[in-house]
Copies of this chain bind each other. A is one copy, B any other.
Amino acid sequence: MRVEPLERALDYHFQRPQLLKQALTHRSFSADNNERLEFLGDSILNMVIAMALYQRFGSLREGDMSRLRAQLVRQDALQHVAELLDLGSFLSLGEGELKSGGHRRPSILADALEAVFGAIYLDAGFEAVKRVVDSLYAEKLADLDPERSLKDPKTSLQEALQARRLPLPQYAMADERGEAHAREFEVHCVIDSLKIRTAGVGATRRIAEQLAAAAALQKLELA
């Protein structure tokens, strides 16, 4: 597999290509895989994003910076960056994963991207990996609107519906399962006027509602 196109997309050239190869190797392919590099890369990403938020938003408090960061480093954000890099095409996967479309699986893409960050750090140090992460996240950081992204999904959904003069969503408990120490709640968010019904599952009813609202908000924005 020629990795030059990936290096171009990253705007980074490896001195030790072996590190990149390892970052692209899923555990289904080899025992010498990217899991340890992912551990390292995860902490690097957290730190570089912390720094970017610290410098960009001089007046945000600690808790708000934490929430914004969580949005930027969660799996779907990483998956999106990985897809822009076409990272999936460069992965070494075991046969089972290959057949079941592992090169498109969000968790595999997100882990591999973090592993690539770990590999760049080992290859060339902190400033090199900071430059790459800052550049990959430049657009996401520029688009950040703390006012908007820090609102909880239920509030945002309510406001979005009010802006369209539509009736408010309804939340219904659909299921409650698991033993006392591992209880799970499933809540449905229903917007009759738009024929939208989404589900959220969480350890508390409140979390499940917020997740259902977030899913509905996404459908609403795509509609």
Contact = CB atoms under 8 A, between A and B. Distances in A.
Interface of A: 35-36, 38-40, 42-44, 46-47, 50-51, 54, 60-62, 65-66, 121, 126-127, 130, 180-183, 185, 203-206
Chain A residues touching B, majority SS:
helix
Contacts of A61: 35-36
A22 to B, nearest CB: 13
| Residue from A39, A46, A66, A127 with most neighbouring chain B CB atoms (10 Å) | A39
Contacts of A205: 181
Nearest to A130: B126
7 contacts: A35-B62, A36-B60, A44-B47, A51-B121, A126-B130, A180-B183, A181-B185
A141 to B, nearest CB: 16
Given A182-B204, A183-B180, A38 B62 contact: yes
A47 B43 contact: yes
Contacts of A206: 181
Contacts of A204: 180-182
A62 B9 CA distance: 27
A196 B34 CA distance: 45
B36 A54 contact: yes
A50 B126 CA distance: 13
Given A181-B204, A206-B181, A65 B36 contact: yes
Contacts of A46: 43, 46-47
A66 B182 CA distance: 22
Contact of A50 (B43, B127, B180, B182): B43
Contacts of A130: 126
